[in-house]
Amino acid sequence: MKPKTKKEDTLDLPRVTVDPNLKSHANDPFVVRKVEEAKRVLATLKKPLSEYYK
C-alpha cells in the first residue's frame, strides 16, 4: 500500500517542459567517447553490474 504523505513533505515539482524539438546530443563526439569509456569500465567489472543489485 502506498504510504500516505503529508502535503508539506511532498515536493511539488515544477511542470517539466517536454520539447519535441529538443536536439539529441547522443551522437556528439564527447558523448560517444563517454559512452565508449563507460562500456569499457563496465566490461572490466568482475561480474555484470546487475548482479550487484540483486
Partner 1 sequence: MERSTVKANLYSFNTHTVKEKFYPFRVSEDYLSYYFESRSEERTIHKAIELVKIDENTYNLALGDLGDDGSLNDSVVSNNGDMHKVLATVSQIIVTFFGMYRDRRIYFTGSSPSRTRLYRLILSREQANWSEIFEIKGILKGEPFNYQSGVDYEAFVITHKNRDYETKDEKGRYP
C-alpha cell at position 45: 567489472
Residue indicated by cell numbers 569500465 = 41
Angle, vertex CA 41, rays to CA 32 and CA 25, nearest 5: 20
Report the nearest approach of partner 1 to the CB of residue 15 (Å).
Answer: 4
Task: Round to whole Å and give the CA distance between 29 and 54.
Answer: 34
- Restricted to residues 1-54, the positions that interact with partner 1 (CB under 8 A) are 2-3, 5, 8-11, 13-26, 28-31, 34-35, 37-39, 41-42, 44-46, 48-50, 52-53
Residues making contact with partner 1 (CB under 8 A): 2-3, 5, 8-11, 13-26, 28-31, 34-35, 37-39, 41-42, 44-46, 48-50, 52-53
